[in-house]
Structure 1
Amino acid sequence: MADRLQRVNGTAVLICAPDGAKLSGERDALDIIGEAGYQGADWVAIPVSRFDDDFFRLRTRIAGEIIQKFANYRLGVAVVGDISRHTAAGSALRDFVREANQGTQVWFVSTLEDLYDRLGGGRRAGSGPGVD
């Protein structure tokens, strides 16, 4: 499965394939940001499976570095999937997720459907030229 662009309520979202390269640092984030820019995306949805486990250990600062790159390029980023095994390990990540989900730049969602709801479009709202 390849990355694909979808429009949700007028927002272009790059949906990353679950089997792509792991994100373990800034360089990996820049690869996705470059693809998002090329595709014209406003948001990027990245499955949990694409993140190195160190992303979820806040003391490594990898999450901060990756998220900051998306913010620098004014791209929203959604981490999509079940992160309960990571949040069960301590309160710092739970607090971070709760705070992120109150903002407008970074969201942790269980499913793509949850992301679509947050973007105000419910199910995939349609497609346009070059959009699956």
Structure 2
Amino acid sequence: MNIQQINKNGVSIAYVTNNETLISDVQSALDLMATVRYELDSNLIIVNKSEVSEAFFDLKTRLAGEVLQKFINYQTKIAIIGDYSGYTSKSLKDFIYESNNGNDIFFVSDEHQAIEKLSSLKA
């Protein structure tokens, strides 16, 4: 796991990359949050969509809800970078839309958008 620190507007953001899946279940999400808090003392995380289990994007598995609830419970905000245009599920599109209009979870297309979203929040 590689953690790059990005500072913008006086806010520390962790951009986490990995060659393997970072978020595959609730425990891996908790491990990610704990590692970032320990390494950078940050509660703002950026990951690539390719490092999130595909099951996350199938809302029937309930993985997205369970994982994102942990992020909210532990007051950690996350931006997931990727292309979401290939998904046809209306419920997933609605979920992404609602998340992007909140203050905790963001599904964005690039690193710049992720940094802008997270750096504008009060951590």
TM class, shorter-length: 0.7 to 0.9
Q: Give the letter aligned to residue 61 of structure 2.
A: T
Two-structure CA RMSD over aligned residues (Å): 1.6
Match of 2:110? Answer: 111
Shift of the alpha carbon at 1:118? 2.3
Q: Give the letter aligned to residue 66 of structure 2.
A: E
Q: Distance in 2 between matches of 1:78 and 1:20?
A: 18
Moved more, 96-105 or 111-120: 111-120
What aligned pairs does 1:1-132 form with structure 2 within 5 A after superposition?
2-38=2-38, 39-86=40-87, 89-119=88-118
Q: Distance in 2 between matches of 1:94 and 1:9?
A: 30
Q: Give the letter aligned to residue 52 of structure 2.
A: F
Of structures 1 and 2, the one scoring higher in RCO (CA 8 A, sep 6+) is 1
Identical pairs, percent: 30
**Unaligned ranges ≥5, structure 2:** none
Contact 1:47 1:80 in 2 (8 A): yes
Q: Distance in 2 between matches of 1:24 and 1:7?
A: 27
Contact 2:14 2:44 in 1 (8 A): yes
Contact 1:13 1:41 in 2 (8 A): yes
**Unaligned ranges ≥5, structure 1:** 122-132
Inter-CA distance 120–37: structure 2 relative to 1 (3 Å threshold): closer
List structure 1 segments (4+ residues) > 6 angstroms apart after TM superposition: none
User: Deviations along 1:89-116, whole A, 9 cap, x unmatched?
Assistant: 2100100010000010001110110122
So what's the TM-score if we normalise by structure 1? 0.82
So what's the TM-score if we normalise by structure 2? 0.88
Q: Distance in 2 between matches of 1:30 and 1:79?
A: 16
Moved more, 73-82 or 110-119: 110-119
Question: Aligned to 1:84, what secondary structure does the other structure show?
Answer: coil
Q: Distance in 2 between matches of 1:120 and 1:62?
A: 27
